[in-house]
Amino acid sequence: MEGVFMTKPSNGGTITLRGEHITLAHAIKVVGLASTGGQAKLLVRAGRITVNGALTMQPGRKLRVGDRFGRAGGTEWTIIS
């Protein structure tokens, strides 16, 4: 089950996780990189998003405390507790 979380600056920063995990697509939507879940999934599948420095193609990937995600070569957010 996805946790409740909050975001900090839209130009990078942190997301505070209030549970075990959040999906990558949901996190992308929360920080404003996409306005819908569908757009978030497309960004990931297009190879425009990294997790912990590596490109990923899995929008359903679970992010946990300590994981970093963001635009390839750009802004990054870190999951904190």
Q: What CATH number should be reported for the domain holding residue 21?
A: 3.10.290.10
Q: Which of 6-15, 28-37, 38-47, 71-80 is predicted least confidently?
A: 6-15
Please give the pLDDT value at position 12. Answer: 80
pLDDT band at 62; cut points 50, 70, 90: very high
Number of domains in the chain: 1
Residue 6, pLDDT above cutoff 70: no
Asked whether the predicted pLDDT for residue 30 surpasses 80, the reply is yes
Q: What is the pTM of this model?
A: 0.87
2 vs 72: CA distance, rounded Å:
24
Domain that holds residue 31: 4-80
